[in-house]
Structure 1
């Protein structure tokens, strides 16, 4: 540019509001930014509508662990969850506003679901950005971004107070930031490159503070940073700042979790690290790890109608193809390492629970599924017919092979072990069965959907629009049936089995002790209803029930009168409720010094929550 031309450019008057675009603003930025904002709001609305029936934690013990962690962080009472899985505090930090706003369990819980929805819906703009980087046009990036954000694994778990509501967003954000850090062009300022690297590192560290799956991401991120220095993609100073950010946030997360551990797990945890060590030091253990990890990969392929399978094949090809740019190859290898690490590490640590979900499970890899789905959808829309057919054939082969491994290892256990509806939101829909698991029927249904997607994408005329409509319809149908068939029945059932609000003044009560022999689903629900009470455990087989508490809940053996569950009950203690339920049988005893129930006060105490029927709230 000549000096005169440069001068004329600088001297040009500012753009007017009559339609000229201000300097430095990309074309259509404001237009697509507004559409993304509207789309995000719509995604939030969908999540809130589906979660409207959720009033208590039913995905136990996970939900209870995060809720009680947040309660402790706001100065609330402790709850004894000893000998269970440790639930970390990073996610609980996001829930703190709910505890600042409200002090009643149902209100707190529902605000937590609003927080989930606000964060989970952010998957739309993130997916849009990734699809734009894969050179999909603005419109189709926006449309496929909506499809990705509506994946059942994304929306369904946002109906519960679980890290799974925010981990897909965190993983998506980490990949986008890491891609920007690795591939930023030479003219990008050092400050911006440093920001990309440090931000990616902090996201990974936050995931580590929120869930043990974050350990895998830290290892992968450390490998990427080492490769960046080794191959001189990034200088040591920039990478060093990113490493310092990673260490600082991860260290803060470790301190947070160390603070929570004695307050929620005073008796210790369930020693998942011991499981990991045993599995990785024996041949039988390796068989368990490889087979169960393969089952997790199978689930991702089938649950997305094969599209995540196409994404997985595409990432694998990028990782090994000779012509792939080195930095892109490193990122593809990072994605594969993340998938393998999560699948096999979680399988190694998993205790034997005599449930089908031990062998085929989708939740652990659900944080990576949207990434694979977005890549697979981009291939369907952009690649040549030959490439699409090749990727689809490879996906079919992979689905059949992984299903065969599951069948070989699990065998008849897939029909004999316990079927938990919560574990199978997508495959239940695909087989239209919420009481049994069918491996090959689900495999066939997922591959049929893949065939329909490939066929629809190649129709003459508006094939892309038809594909988007089909995928949105399938996703919404799957998550809606999961809500009506799984979420709401779980809430209705557990509420009727455990709700004591009409029997004793739980708000004024300050302490509750539960017998270890009461099933854990009932125990945690009782801790939840007794929101302002410190919860402790004891084993009635060996330890007398404590007398310095307001309420004691004991297991109720078959054939034993409720009055005989505490034969040496102190004077004045009386039974306030006893129930035999599918979840377990229990009897609640109240101290004579505990606050008595005031029927006229109950309505205002619980914020106007009307009775469901006489005698029950």
Structure 2
């Protein structure tokens, strides 16, 4: 098999400063395979490492018993229930939740017993998939010529980032999107930079890499609208590979066919959910995008909020993701960068910008601080940038390292200035939602308020410490362990404190506010109708507890409660007994089984 590299392509295993000290293999003599014992040892390391990562995720999620990241978690769970042939859940006028991720959760409905059992099984599925970030991050770091043992260590660190670890404890696409993006990046790199295949087996491997990248992109598109940005970026890569002849038309055709077929299947899947979950329409986020793109104020909103997402991505990783973004930008503009590598660098930058600005354009004004600084949307690409940043820290010369760290610091400070200029005092006046800030809460040691400049200072301090730990004199001895220990400790502390101070209090509160299990035999309630005037978080949680019931909504101000439902939940007027909640009096045969006054709203449950 030929090992020649095509013109304009980069060998992913080419020797670099700081790489394994081995002479390059001769084209006529491919590298010798490692001894069988060494292969077994590495296989055990990855198996045990994956199990450890799964265990950490299950431990952190052990206190989660119901959806608290509403309406997102509820939407995905209800969609999965519909896909298994279960009852509908009316979420009209809300965000459309796509079917790709719920399709992954369908086994939870076959294994789990009751709503809590189903939810816990869904989180176990999350843990199994999310822990795959360990081998993927290892492969990314190896492609960046980081030594094998340190690639393994920092693969663990990457898998412990809150954008990977914390969100795996919720029924959200954020639990799997980072894995999908990392997998796509590896396959796309293989497909673009591999030497021309000489023989059937290399040609098959190349075809599988291109088709695999396309399938991951199509699945991401079926999971979330953020996947649409990845779809556009990947399609542009396929077009560039054909135009610049990096790949043959047959290879491009195979990858394109896989992309088109899988995308079409995902669109059919998503369309099948609409009548079951949005019978009266959705909230038309596309209309927000059009409005933002056609007005000057809309452009200001979109660009400023997108910049706030980049700021959060940098600070939440101690500046390492910003270091990676700077390195990717440098690769994209450097003249000597091979064409396929430049295209991939531009694709990553386009993915970051596309997600940040497109999600900002679609956001409605919610009067919360998280509108202006938010980390979840870019969480899918953050681990890849973090891995690039680690490679810079581990391999760059002193001069390059200091230059890159300075550029990352400037990027972070400028982004913070944009946030301060656009949001101003809204950062203190608008609603603070602790769930939006799992990383910066630890950096500022405050889970009740947002502090822009305190978080910026803490993030830059971590960047300074990380840079100092791996200056060339320390890199050969204590530097890498110090860097890995620092980044792992901070990342794990962020997830642990976010679980204890944000997630678990939400679970306790929502259970106290909404739990219907002690009120009636919910397995016999085949349908539940909830008053539109009840706060939407309570409404969705009651759908959740009545797991076997067809959920619908009505407005008691204009519509009489549906008497064909088995359970009706009505808003409870102030200074009135529970029986007064039924407009004009309850019909014969209906009785109150539960009533509750809560911080989120008051309600009364009736059954026949």
Question: Shorter-chain TM-score: which interval?
Answer: over 0.9
Deviations 1:21-60 (A, max 9, x none): xx98445433222211111110000000000000111100
Please report how far the alpha carbon of residue 138 of structure 1 lies from its aligned counterpart in structure 2 after TM superposition: 0.8
Alignment of 1:216-615 (within 5 A): 216-458=229-471, 460=474, 461-566=477-582, 567-591=584-608
Q: Secondary structure at the match of 2:597?
A: strand
SS in 1 for 2:602: strand
Please give the secondary structure, in 2, of the residue aligned with 1:158.
helix
Give the superposition deviation at 1:560.
3.0
1:576 alignment partner, SS class? strand
How far apart, CA to CA, are the structure 1 residues paired with 2:401 and 2:76?
42
Residue among 58, 69, 77 paired with 2:87: 77
Which string of whole-angstrom CA distances, capped at 9 and with x for unpartnered residues, describes residues 287-321 of structure 1? 11000000000000000000001000000000001
Please state how far the C-alpha of 1:243 moved relative to its aligned partner: 0.6
Range that drifts further, 408-417 or 187-196: 187-196
Distance in 1 (alpha carbons) for counterparts of 2:196 and 2:519: 69
Aligned counterparts of 2:279 and 2:502: Cα–Cα separation in 1: 33
Between the aligned partners of 1:274 and 1:455, the Cα distance in structure 2 is 48
Corresponding residue for residue 168 of structure 1: 178
Partner of 2:110: 100
Q: Does 1:197 align with 2:213?
A: no
8 Å CA contact 2:315–2:455 kept in 1: the answer is: yes
- Aligned equivalents of 2:283, 2:32: Cα separation in 1: 56
Residue aligned with 1:512, SS? strand
Q: CA deviation at 1:452?
A: 1.1
Secondary structure of 2:82's counterpart equals helix
Q: Which 5+ residue runs of structure 2 have no aligned equivalent?
A: 2-30
Scaled by the length of structure 2, the TM-score of the pair is 0.92
User: Matched residue of 2:524: which SS?
Assistant: coil
1:252 alignment partner, SS class: helix
2:131 to 98, 117, 121: 121
CA displacement 1:150-181 (0-9 Å, x = unmatched) = 00111110000000000000000000000000
Residue in structure 2 matched with residue 11 of structure 1 by the alignment: none
Q: Which is further off, 378-387 or 163-172?
A: 378-387
Distance in structure 2 (CA, Å) of the matches to 1:279 and 1:29: 54
Report how far residue 186 of structure 1 moved: 2.4
Q: State the Cα distance separating 1:535 from its structure 2 match.
A: 0.4
Paired residues of 2:590 and 2:606 also in contact (CA < 8 A): yes
For 1:249 and 1:361, locate their aligned partners in 2 and report how far apart those are by CA, in whole Å: 31
Distance 2:250 2:239 in 1: 12
Number of aligned residue pairs: 570
Deviation by residue 1:551-590 (Cα, 9 ceiling, x = unmatched) = 1111123233322111321012111111111121111111
Contact 2:197-2:206 at 8 Å conserved across structures: no
Deviation at 1:472, TM superposition (A): 1.0
**2: CA distance, partners of 1:47 / 1:344:** 31
Q: Relative to structure 1, is the Cα distance of residues 24 and 247 closer, same or farther in structure 2, using a 3 angstrom cutoff?
A: farther
> In the aligned structure 2, how far is the partner of 1:255 from the partner of 1:103?
30
Match among 34, 46, 53 for residue 36 of structure 1: 46
Q: Which residue of structure 2 aligns with residue 112 of structure 1?
A: 122
Q: How many Å separate the matches in 1 of 2:486 and 2:545?
A: 42
Aligned to 1:610: none
Structure 1: unaligned runs, 5 residues or longer: 2-22, 592-617
**CA displacement, residues 422-466 of structure 1 (integer Å, 9 cap, x when unaligned):** 100000111011110111111111111111111122363311111
- The C-alpha deviation readout for 1:76-114, integer Å capped at 9, x for no partner, is 111101110000000011111111113411011101000
Give, in whole Å, the separation in 1 of the partners of 2:515 and 2:453: 40
Correspondence for 2:161: 151
Counterpart residue number, 1:12 = none
SS of the residue aligned with 1:535? strand
